[in-house]
Amino acid sequence: MDRITVAIVSFVITLLMTPVAIKIAKKYGWIDLPNERKIHKIPMPRVGGIGIFFGIIIGIIVAGFFSKESWPFWALIPLSIVSIMGFIDDVKGLSFKIKFLFQIVSAVLAIILTNANVLYINNPFGGQIKLGILGPVFAVLWIVGVTNAVNLTDGLDGLAAGISAIAAITIAITSAKTDLPATLVAIAIFASAVAFLRYNFHPAKTFMGDTGSQLLGFALALISIKGSSLSASTLSLAVPLLAIGVPILDTGYAVIRRTLGGHNPFLPDKMHIHHQLLSIGFSHVTAVLFMYAVSIVFAVIAISYKGLHDLTALAFYIIIGAVLLSFLWVMRKRSEKNGRNYKSKDSQIGSSH
């Protein structure tokens, strides 16, 4: 009953608040305008993530009443900070340095307030790796890294929301018998993300903006620590790595690609996996569904093999990632060989990255 209640509350709140956010965005001119870096060709309300914010926050409050632990209530503080930061970025614009600083501060607060510290991580080759004083550093890097990874997937209508929903329900299922608070928070994220797809799936009526993407990424990072801990201080990386597999893979690929190409790894481009799917001829919807499918493959592995050894999970991750990137490389080379430059017929509408 507690899970159903949290899901209904988060779903309904997001469903009701997102149209309000769209009206507010239009009234105050908070519109995402097209440019050469963006896929969409028409102006789009950019703060739809306000609906996600209220859905998740109110859902967590409800979850807190069902939980015997207090950390879900404390988590509201850093989650609100990172979402407000995203909102300011959406309406005013912030430098990546300022955003990075906000993310670090929010991550530190989350670790302190929710006791999300990681003193040990499972060693893929057996035993444990003691992090000691590096534990908080690892936790901060994980939270900030996942936050930005999810943010970078917000490049096509419905992509970030759908992938976040898949990741959240994966964590909810795998933590169901060990950590009720993490399960309930994950359900709030899942329900809110699914409800948002009503307005964000192609053709979108609004973008979530950083208001939503930063919140989704931060929340997923936090519950992946809380829900995947083998004990109060030991983290298994198998489920988080697979549940949030697509954003991590895409971001890692982007950083390596930009670095090897002599470019700033933190500057955006249009070479993310979803962009490349469009370039080889996928329609907008097909590209998003393809990314969903990859996420579901990761999720099924994580759920089916809940006790999966970290080394085995890493092997699955590398194999699937290698197959995906190889597929993209072969398709690009084939199109270049044939002298064709594919352009998706649906590429006139997309998100902001």
Give the pLDDT confidence of 211-250 residue by residue, as tens digits.
999 999 999 999 999 887 655 556 777 888 899 999 999 9
Least confident stretch, 116-120, 283-287, 298-302: 116-120
Least confident stretch, 77-91, 128-142, 189-203, 233-247: 233-247
Q: Which residues pair with 235 in a beta bridge?
A: 121, 229
Q: Dump pLDDT digits (tens) for 278-296.
A: 888 899 999 999 999 999 9
Residue 348, pLDDT score:
40
Phi-psi region of 111 (alpha: psi -120 to 50; beta: other; left: phi over 0): alpha
- Which residues make up each annotated binding site for Mg(2+)? 151, 210
Residue 308, pLDDT score:
63
- Which residues make up each annotated binding site? 151, 210
Nearby residues of 16 by Cβ (< 8 Å), 6 or more positions away: 51
Nearest to 192 by CA among 281, 98, 63: 63
* Cα–Cα dist 61/67, whole Å: 10
Residue 344: pLDDT over 60: no
SS3 assignment, position 81? helix
* Cα–Cα dist 192/13, whole Å: 8
Residue 91: pLDDT over 70: yes
Residue 36, pLDDT score:
65
Nearest to 160 by CA among 328, 327, 3, 273: 273
Residue with the larger pLDDT of the pair 325 and 125: 325
Residue 150: pLDDT over 60: yes
Residue 124: pLDDT over 70: no
